[in-house]
Amino acid sequence: MANVLMYRGAFVSALPHLEQVVAHYHPQKHGFRIYVPIDSGVNCRSFLAWIRLFQGYPDTALLHSRQALAEARELGHPHTLAFALHVNCLFHQVRGDTAMVEERAAALIQLATEQGFPHLVATGTLFHGWAIGAGGAVEAGLEEMHRGLALKEATGSRLKVPYYFGLLASLHGSMEQHSEAGALLREAVAKVEQTGERWFEAELCRLRGEGLLGGTDPDPAGAEPALCQALRTAQEQGAKLWQLRAARSLAQLYHNQGRDLEARDLLTPIYGLFSEGFDTSDLKQAAALLKNLA
C-alpha cells in the first residue's frame, strides 16, 4: 500500500504505512524469504527516505537513506543490496549530489551485472549516465542514459520512465537542445496520464516551464502557467521540495520581468517552511535568489 500511494504522489497517505513497517519489522518474520525478493525493512526505510526528502526534510531523509543502505549491506542478500543502491541513486540525484550518484551507480552496475539483474543494470546505467552528464560530459552522459533506457525497456518495466525522461530532458536542455527536451517532457507527461505515476509530476511541469524560457525564442507567457501548475501540484501532494523548486523558478521569472515584489512574496513563505537542509543546493539557491530580491 505504501509503495502504490507513494508512486501515485500521495505522500501524506503513504508515510504512516512506511513508518508502521519500519517500527514493527522483524527480519525473521517479515524478511524477503517469505514475501518478496527484497527485504521489507530495507525496502520501506529506503522509500521513507524518499518521502521525507520530497516533503522537505532532507537531513532526516539522509539519515534514513544511510541506514537503509547499511542494513542492506549487513543483510548479505545481493538483490536487496542492488535494490538499495538503485533507490539510493535516485535519492542522491534528487539531492543534487552528482559524485555520490556516480559512485553508487558504478557499484550498482557491477553488482547487478555479476548477479544477473538486467533491470538494475539498466537503472545503474541510467544514473551513471546522468551523473557524468551533469558533471560536464553531457554527450557521453546522454549516450549512456539512452543505452540504459533501451536496456530498461527491454525488460518490460515502465516504472519511473517519466522521471528518467525528465533527467534526459534536463541534459538535452543544458546543451540548448530544446526541441529534444520538449519532446521528452511531452512524452513523460503523457506517460504520467497513462499510468497514474505522479510522484515526479510537479517536477515535469517545472522542467517544461524552464524549457519554454530557453532557446532563441523564449516563451515567458507559456512558461508561467506551466510553473504555476508545478507549484499547485506540489502543494496538493504536500511535497515541499518540489514546491520550493517551482516557486524558485517562478520567482526567477518574475525577477527577470521586473516583478520583484511578487517574486519575494511568492518565495519567502515557502522558503520559511523549511527547518533543516540549509546546506543543500535547493535551499542555497533559494536563499541566493531571495538575497537578490531583497
Here the cell at position 232 is 499547485
Write out pLDDT tens, residues 31-79. Answer: 655 556 888 899 999 999 999 999 999 999 999 999 999 999 998 899 9
Tally DSSP H helices, then E strands, for the chain: 16, 0
CB 112 within 8 A of CB 74: no
Rounded Cα distance between 4 and 11, Å, is: 10
| Residue 145 near residue 167, CB atoms below 8 Å | yes
| 271: its cell numbers | 522558503
C-alpha to C-alpha distances, 199 to 77, 267, 282, nearest whole angstrom:
28, 22, 18
Q: What is the DSSP letter of 100?
A: H
**Exposure of 166 in the CB half-sphere (CA atoms within 13 A):** 24
Q: Which residue has the cell 546546506?
A: 279
Predicted confidence (pLDDT) per residue in 146-195, tens digit: 999 999 999 999 999 999 999 999 999 989 898 999 999 999 999 999 99
CA dist., res. 64 & res. 99, Å (int)? 20
* Per-residue pLDDT, 32: 57
| Digit-coded pLDDT (tens) for 106-141 | 999 999 999 999 999 999 999 999 999 999 999 999
Predicted confidence at residue 215, as pLDDT, reads: 78
Mean pLDDT of the chain: 95
DSSP letters for 182-201: HHHHHHHHHHHHHH---TTH
Reduced to 3 states (helix: H, G, I; strand: E, B; else coil), residue 119 is helix
User: What are the strands, taking DSSP E only, across 29-126?
Assistant: none
C-alpha cell at 74: 549487513
Which residue in 264, 202, 261, 208 sits closest to 234, CA to CA? Answer: 202
Pick left, alpha or beta for residue 177 (phi over 0 → left; psi -120 to 50 → alpha; otherwise beta): beta
What is the pLDDT, as a whole number, of residue 38?
87
Q: Could you report the per-residue pLDDT of 191-235, keeping only the tens digit for each?
A: 999 999 999 999 999 999 999 998 778 999 999 999 999 999 999
**Does residue 233 contact residue 247 with C-beta atoms inside 8 Å?**
no
State whether the Cα torsion 169-170-175-178 is positive or negative: positive
**Of the candidates 196, 129, 205, 120, which has an alpha carbon nearest to the alpha carbon of residue 167?**
129
The whole-angstrom separation of Cα 159 and Cα 165 is 12
The 10 Å CB-count burial string (b at 16+, else e) for 247-270 is: bbbbbbbbbeeeeeebbbebbeeb
- What is the pTM (predicted TM-score) of this model? 0.95
